[in-house]
A and B are shown apart, each in its own frame.
Chain A
């Protein structure tokens, strides 16, 4: 089974802090994704990556950056955390994009910015 592991289940950070959310997958998947989930808004794509050192902006990239130095690891960075970034963050991976490739998700990181 594919395993996608997010390093923290819960995080509490202060406004202005630099925050790193880490995600590791063990199935050699090319694609990795970061989504943000808010009640009533569903999942919104922040960034995704097709390969090492490659990144593409999703629908809501403002205030975030990403890093993919190794194929198995995809990090989401909040450069200066703000209270409106309080949310559930979901990492996912998949084989090369194709019509029928479902995403494999981690368990999520619930981030609170105070």
Chain B
């Protein structure tokens, strides 16, 4: 079985500061992929960043980076230089080889960026 845990229901950050959103996962599979999605208040789910289990480097996409610590089974999302438009729900997801790579999602973290 695969499981994703996001322990922060809500987070607040000041504009232009960095913020880390936590995600831990549990799987016995050796091959898996980790994803982060953003959901603004408009409702659409936007893919942000991906990390494969065999990737040695942390993934980065613009202001987003994924702090992948395999031994600790964590895949935290780091947003640098927060902007007001970053206010949204953020979901961590995982697909594993044993689960046919069908994504399982965490419960999400609501991020509010203050001016």
Contacts of A35 in B (CB 8 A): 105
On whether A102 and B44 interact (CB within 8 A), knowing A41-B107, A43-B105, A97-B100, the answer reads: no
Is B68 interfacial (CB 8 A cutoff)? no
Contact across chains for B35 and A102 when beta carbons are under 8 A apart: yes
On whether A40 and B101 interact (CB within 8 A), knowing A90-B45, A100-B33, A105-B45, the answer reads: no
Q: Is the interface of B mostly helix, strand, loop or mixed?
A: loop
Contact across chains for A105 and B91 when beta carbons are under 8 A apart: no
Q: In the complex, A92→B35 CA distance in Å?
A: 15
Is A45 interfacial (CB 8 A cutoff)? yes
Which residue numbers of B lie inside 8 Å of A, CB to CB? Answer: 6, 9, 31-33, 35, 37, 42-45, 47, 50, 52-53, 91, 93, 95, 97, 100-108
Which residue numbers of A lie inside 8 Å of B, CB to CB? Answer: 33, 35, 40-45, 48, 58, 88, 90, 92, 97-108, 110
The 6 closest A-B pairs by CB, nearest first: A105-B45, A42-B107, A43-B105, A97-B101, A102-B47, A99-B33
